[in-house]
């Protein structure tokens, strides 16, 4: 076995990277440690319309559970703010099938897929990554390749083995738990977010509709003595409905890794920290970065330049596309971290009583008097 590009991880980032690498005439292998693509699910399935535009494909109708028109924000004191901002418009997808659909597209484009195969180590010679060592059906096998793409998620071992990351500190990770529930009373076309320290310390609760009376209901936390599932059980205890699936997972929210390439290797998706630090969403960023990773890896193979300096164009490209937004989002997250429940109540009240397009100096003065800390924080955003 010998490949031009080996992609480690077979979910969304791996499938997109291998698809874009296979669009060119090279040999691509995608390796996934699980026996099935897309499971277990670690996602609420919320994706923007631009996800599909980036991938130049139509949203697969069968996989759309609901079309989203806006969101309801719930303050800790129960006050609601409803918005139909166009930025929120998108879909709730059946995520496990979306990953599989992208893997199928990739296989159809030429990618070979090895399942139930775990990458145990990188082959590195004189600082150049030259392939992977896998455990497959009980045997250790060396698979040489010109480029390795690490798309192995938040706990990326590939990033560690390549010396590009040595792990997150606990506050940089959001610990999540989610139930898919049926028979629940929801807004079928609106996302719902609940904020408050008691409900989700350092994070938020989400309700993502999957059609009439069906939803992914989950939360992420960063602080406190109790695990995410404890807070989730507390939240759903007041809801009518039945649980049909449980998903757990962690989301990195400290922004991208300092370096996402080296000689013979690229990192993408959660493995590279390509996740929005405010929302925790990674799918759209993965569409942008993983397609670039696949394309640039194939270019490097074709022009026989696997050096770190050639591959640095990957990082330049993704930074050009999303670098500024990620930096801004990181700044907003640090700002939101400082808001306590009182200020969150003030923020929702402020949103309810003001139209941003016609903010008067009187309303801003009122806010400054009532919530001075919130005012100082918002001054940095507006």
297 is an annotated ligand-binding site residue = no
Q: Is the separation of the CB atoms in 347 and 375 below 8 Å?
A: no
46 is an annotated ligand-binding site residue = yes
Distance of CA 135 to the CA centre of its chain: 27
**Coil/strand/helix, residue 9:** coil
215 is an annotated ligand-binding site residue = no
According to the binding rule CB under 6 A, does residue 150 interact with ligand FAD? no
43 is an annotated ligand-binding site residue = yes
CB of 292 to ligand FAD, least distance (A): 14
Of the candidates 11, 74, 146, 194, which one interacts with ligand FAD according to CB under 6 A? 11
282 is an annotated ligand-binding site residue = yes
Q: Pairing relation of β-strands 3-8 and 139-150?
A: parallel
Q: Which is nearer to ligand FAD, 42 or 213 (CB)?
A: 42
Q: What is the dihedral of CA 224, 230, 233, 235, to 10 degrees?
A: -10
According to the binding rule CB under 6 A, does residue 176 interact with ligand FAD? yes
Q: Which is nearer to ligand FAD, 64 or 251 (CB)?
A: 251
Of 3-11, 122-130, 165-173, 364-372, which part binds ligand FAD (CB under 6 A)?
3-11
Of the candidates 249, 273, 277, 294, which one interacts with ligand FAD according to CB under 6 A? 249
Token readout for 172 is: 């940089």
| Measured distance CA(123)–CA(132) in Å, rounded | 5
According to the binding rule CB under 6 A, does residue 152 interact with ligand FAD? yes
Of the candidates 64, 266, 267, 275, which one interacts with ligand FAD according to CB under 6 A? 275
- The burial of 11, by beta-carbon neighbours within 10 Å (0-12 exposed, 13-18 middle, 19 or more buried), is given as buried
251 is an annotated ligand-binding site residue = no
Of the candidates 196, 255, 273, 282, which one interacts with ligand FAD according to CB under 6 A? 282
- Among 250, 245, 154, 272, which Cα is nearest to 202's? 250
Question: Which residues 6+ apart lie within 8 Å of 351 measured at CB?
Answer: 73, 81, 83
Number of residues that bind ligand FAD (CB under 6 A): 39
Q: What is the 3-state secondary structure (H, E, C) of 289-318?
A: HHHHHHHHHHHHHHCCCCCHHHHHHHHHHH
Q: Is the separation of the CB atoms in 210 and 269 below 8 Å?
A: no
Looking at residues 21 to 80 of the shown chain, list those that interact with ligand FAD (rule: CB under 6 A).
31-34, 42-47
70 is an annotated ligand-binding site residue = no
154 is an annotated ligand-binding site residue = no
Binding annotation for FAD: 32, 43-44, 46, 95, 119, 270, 282-283
Binding annotation: 32, 43-44, 46, 95, 119, 270, 282-283
Interface ranges with ligand FAD (CB under 6 A): 8-14, 31-34, 42-47, 118-119, 151-154, 157, 176, 178, 218, 247, 249, 251, 269-271, 275, 280-283, 286
């Amino acid at each position: 076995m010998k490949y031009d590009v080996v992609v480690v991880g077979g979910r969304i980032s791996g499938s997109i990277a291998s698809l874009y690498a296979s669009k060119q005439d090279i040999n691509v292998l995608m390796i996934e440690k699980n026996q099935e693509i897309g499971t277990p699910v670690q996602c609420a399935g919320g994706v923007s319309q631009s996800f599909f535009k980036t991938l130049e494909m139509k949203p697969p109708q069968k996989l759309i559970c609901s079309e989203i028109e806006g969101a309801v924000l719930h303050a800790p004191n129960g006050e609601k703010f409803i918005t139909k901002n166009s930025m929120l418009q998108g879909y709730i997808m059946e995520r496990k099938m979306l990953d599989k659909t992208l893997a199928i597209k990739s296989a159809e484009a030429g990618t070979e897929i090895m399942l139930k195969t775990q990458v145990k180590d990188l082959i590195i010679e004189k600082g150049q990554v030259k392939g992977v060592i896998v455990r497959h059906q009980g045997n250790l096998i060396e698979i040489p390749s010109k480029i390795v793409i690490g798309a192995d998620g938040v706990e990326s071992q590939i990033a560690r083995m390549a010396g590009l990351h040595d792990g997150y500190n606990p506050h940089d990770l959001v610990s999540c738990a989610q139930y898919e529930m049926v028979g629940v009373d929801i807004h079928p076309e609106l996302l719902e977010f609940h904020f408050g320290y008691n409900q989700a310390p350092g994070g938020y609760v989400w309700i993502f509709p999957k059609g009439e009376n069906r939803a992914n209901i989950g939360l992420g936390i960063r602080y406190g003595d109790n695990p995410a599932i404890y807070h989730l059980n507390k939240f759903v205890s007041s809801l009518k409905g039945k649980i049909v699936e449980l998903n757990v997972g962690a989301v990195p929210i400290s922004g991208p890794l300092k370096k996402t390439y080296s000689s013979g290797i690229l990192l993408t998706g959660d493995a590279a920290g390509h996740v929005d630090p405010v929302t925790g969403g990674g799918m759209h960023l993965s569409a942008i970065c993983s397609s670039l990773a696949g394309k640039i890896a194939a270019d490097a193979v074709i022009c026989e330049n696997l050096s770190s300096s050639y591959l640095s164009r990957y990082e330049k490209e993704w930074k050009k596309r999303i670098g500024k937004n990620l930096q801004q989002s990181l700044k907003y997250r640090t700002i939101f971290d400082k808001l306590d429940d009182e200020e969150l109540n003030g923020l929702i009240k402020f949103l309810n009583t003001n139209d941003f397009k016609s903010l008067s100096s009187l309303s801003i003065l009122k806010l400054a008097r009532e919530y001075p800390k919130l005012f100082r924080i918002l001054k940095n955003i507006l």
